[in-house]
Amino acid sequence: MTPILQIKGVTKRYGGLTANNDITFDVAPQEILSVIGPNGAGKSTLFKQIAGFVTPTTGEVIYKGTKISGLPPHKVARMGVVRTFQETTIFKSMTVRENVIVSHHLRSKASLLGFFFGSAQAKADEAEFGKSADDIIDFLGLQAIRNETASNLPQGHLRALGMAIGLATHPDVILLDEPFAGMNHDETMRMVALVRRLRDERGLTVLLVEHDMPAVMKISDRIVCINFGEKIAEGSPAEIQANPRVIEAYLGSEDAAIGM
Amino acid sequence: MSTTRLAGVLAFLLGVFVLVPLFINLTGRWDFYYTLTSVALLSVAAAGVWLTFYIGRINIGQGAYALTGGYVSAILITQYGVSFWLTLPLAGLFCAAVSVLIGLPILRLRGVYFAMVTLVLTEVARLTALALPVTNGAKGITSIPLPGELSLFGLTIIPDFSTLGNPKLAFYLMATVLMVLTYLVLWRIVNSRLGHLCRSLQQNEELSASIGVNTAMLRVLAYAISSFFGGLAGAIFVAISQSIYPSSFVVQDSVNFMLYCFLGGLGYVFGPMLGTLLLYFGWDLLSIAKEYQLLIYSGALIALMLVLPNGVLSLLDKKGGRK
């Protein structure tokens, strides 16, 4: 199968520090792929480069045959690769529904001038955004807090809202930055089910960076392990668990963390 | 539009275009025209500042664009014989174009850094006006003729101001009509998708970019609209005073524009209008306190910001008011 996303020799240097060194892997369509690694391994830097927030020093990111590395984030998003954020990045003083509606920006067919004058296309767009936003809110089970101001929401709901914002752009590839961080076991299991549904029901390709090893092992089709900025292993969860280099990277305190 | 809102708008228009002139006619306080004209024009410039606040930038440089707009209008009228009415949009457009060039680099800055750069802009504009030959240095441009006739297809829409018995009233009407139009545009921006995108920018630029918003373009667009308003206001001020000097708009004015927005309320479209009215009138009224004028004025400002940090219009919110 042709890969939907190709990471080709991506290297990022900040002065003398090499955050990512020659990382290469492919992502198949509708795959759930996790990027793991100890703290400071360069996972977030890799994500930023895929989403256009950081330009690689060398190497490139290819999406559906087109080079996307070096493009600004809004162009990468327009092509169908969208990132959600670590922690709780949302539009704080908007309601849940407003958050999702405003994130439909990429779907608008009318121009800003059209919206200003309230053209027929603009009205049609607004109606469509509202409907699509309600669909997404229902999909994520956020109906009860639809009109709640985002800043009042608890952590779990914020994470779901962040995902709703990502979904509103109707991406093909969604990058989830630590979707399970700070969640208890039950919340994590719900989120795991949700991420599966993103793929199964919405046909998304999911890339995620995560520390929660049991969740990663449960959810991933494949895993890429990074340590000190370099890819040290790639394979199925079982292969990763058995890989001596991965064990070494996590050795000591975090033996249990990879599910041994 | 709900009926209460419509009634509010109608009451406002009635007050501005009927009751105020009537009141002034009855009391003979013709000087109020000048004050209210100033309030209207300052609130047009403040509307622009408010829009830059709306994308999350503190703009203390509107005076630069008011000055630029004023000079563009004055130079076009005196040296090229262009009709005042044509110089009005030209002044606005020139300021918008300049602001695009200035905005592209500086709008990447945030918070206090952007504020500091804009603070310097007004001073830069003043020094530029002093240095350029076309602006006639410190002597400024004086004896600018009053606005001439505006006619379309031989039909007189606005008569020559110098033939009018009461140009003060004419200027008042011109300024208030412009103010109403400005706030209509602003209201429409805020309540259309453009405004929603501006809000997304104000709250989180990274997220805004990741949902596909061209944040750099949107910032410059908002700043250009803002500067357009500044240029318009400046051009009319010059028409009223019939003269312009490098010191016609100084840093103090830029700071005032920002204060009007703060005081009126950054979350409310009509905040800057109310803020301008209260502060400008308040300052005038306090002149009876003589040497204590500034002390009382500043004290009241501090108290207001402490008690109503979200502006005077936030009082409406407690009654479940409108935005």
State how far the alpha carbon of A109 is from the alpha carbons of A106, A123, A124, A193, B277, in Å. Answer: 8, 10, 9, 33, 40
Contact B204 A92 (CB under 8 A): yes
* Cα–Cα distance for residue pair A208/A179, rounded to 1 Å: 8
Q: Which of A153, A170, A187 is a domain's end point? A: A170
- Is A111 found in the same domain as A154? yes
Dihedral angle at the C-alpha atoms of B103, B109, B111, B116, nearest 10 degrees? -70
Neighbours of B31 (CB within 10 A): 11
Q: Which of B199, B213, B216 sits opposite A94 (nearest CB)?
A: B199
Which parts of chain A register pLDDT below 50?
253, 260
Does any CB of chain B come closer than 8 Å to the CB of residue A122?
yes
Does any CB of chain B come closer than 8 Å to the CB of residue A82?
yes
> What number is the average pLDDT over the span B90-105?
96
Q: Which of A170, A186, A201 is a domain's end point? A: A170
> What number is the average pLDDT over the span B95-115?
93
Write down the pLDDT at residue B221: 95
Evaluate if residue B268 carries a pLDDT over 50.
Answer: yes
Write down the pLDDT at residue B323: 42
- Is A76 found in the same domain as A7? yes
Evaluate if residue B12 carries a pLDDT over 80.
Answer: yes
The answer to whether ipTM exceeds 0.90 is no
- Is A183 found in the same domain as A258? yes
Write down the pLDDT at residue A86: 66
Q: Which of A229-238, B155-164, B298-307 has the lowest mean pLDDT?
A: B155-164
- Is A44 found in the same domain as A101? no
Write down the pLDDT at residue A49: 92
Which H helix or E strand runs over A115? helix A112-117
- Is A260 found in the same domain as A179? yes
- Is A248 found in the same domain as A180? yes
Condensed to tens digits (0 to 9), the pLDDT of residues B115-137 reads 999 999 999 999 999 998 888 88
Write down the pLDDT at residue B1: 56
Per the prediction, chain A carries an average pLDDT of: 88
Q: Pairing relation of β-strands A173-177 and A205-209?
A: parallel
Does any CB of chain B come closer than 8 Å to the CB of residue A123?
no
- Is A102 found in the same domain as A74? no
**CA B227 centroid distance within chain:** 9
Nearest CA in chain A to B189: A116
Write down the pLDDT at residue B322: 45
- Is A184 found in the same domain as A134? no
How many Cβ contacts (< 8 angstroms) between chains A and B? 88
Q: Which of B204, B210, B214, B266 to mutate to test the interface with A (most CBs of A within 10 A)?
A: B210
* Cα–Cα distance for residue pair A222/A216, rounded to 1 Å: 9
* Cα–Cα distance for residue pair A92/A59, rounded to 1 Å: 36
Q: Which of B193, B199, B212 sits opposite A169 (nearest CB)?
A: B212
The CATH number fitting domain B34-316, selected from 3.10.620, 1.10.3470, 1.20.58, 1.10.760: 1.10.3470
Neighbours of A118 (CB within 10 A): 14
Condensed to tens digits (0 to 9), the pLDDT of residues B35-75 reads 899 999 999 999 999 999 999 999 999 999 999 999 999 99
Number of compact structural domains in chain A: 2
Give the domain extent around A253.
1-80+172-260
Write down the pLDDT at residue A171: 92
DSSP string over B31-68: HHHHHHHHHHHHHHHHHHHHHHHHTT-----HHHHHHH
Per the prediction, chain B carries an average pLDDT of: 89
Condensed to tens digits (0 to 9), the pLDDT of residues B188-229 reads 999 988 999 999 999 888 889 888 889 999 999 999 999 999
Q: Of A241, B155, A95, nearest to A250 (Cα)?
A: A241
A256 in any annotated domain: yes
Chain B CB contacts of A91 under 8 Å are: 199-200, 203-204, 207
- Is A74 found in the same domain as A104? no
Chain B CB contacts of A108 under 8 Å are: 193
A85 in any annotated domain: no
Chain B residues in contact with chain A using a Cβ-Cβ cutoff of 8 Å: 188-189, 192-194, 196-197, 199-200, 203-204, 206-207, 209-216, 221
Neighbours of B11 (CB within 10 A): 11
- Is A178 found in the same domain as A165? no
**B271 CA to chain A: closest CA distance, Å?**
18
- Is A96 found in the same domain as A212? no
Contact A74 B213 (CB under 8 A): yes
> What number is the average pLDDT over the span B244-264?
91
Condensed to tens digits (0 to 9), the pLDDT of residues A160-186 reads 888 899 899 999 999 998 888 878 888
Split at pLDDT 50, 70, 90, the class of B2 is confident
Q: Which of A170, A205, A220 is a domain's end point? A: A170
- Is A146 found in the same domain as A106? yes
Which H helix or E strand runs over B190? helix B167-190
Write down the pLDDT at residue B320: 46
What CATH number does the domain containing A43 carry? 3.40.50.300
Name A185's Cβ contacts closer than 8 Å, sequence gap at least 6.
Answer: none
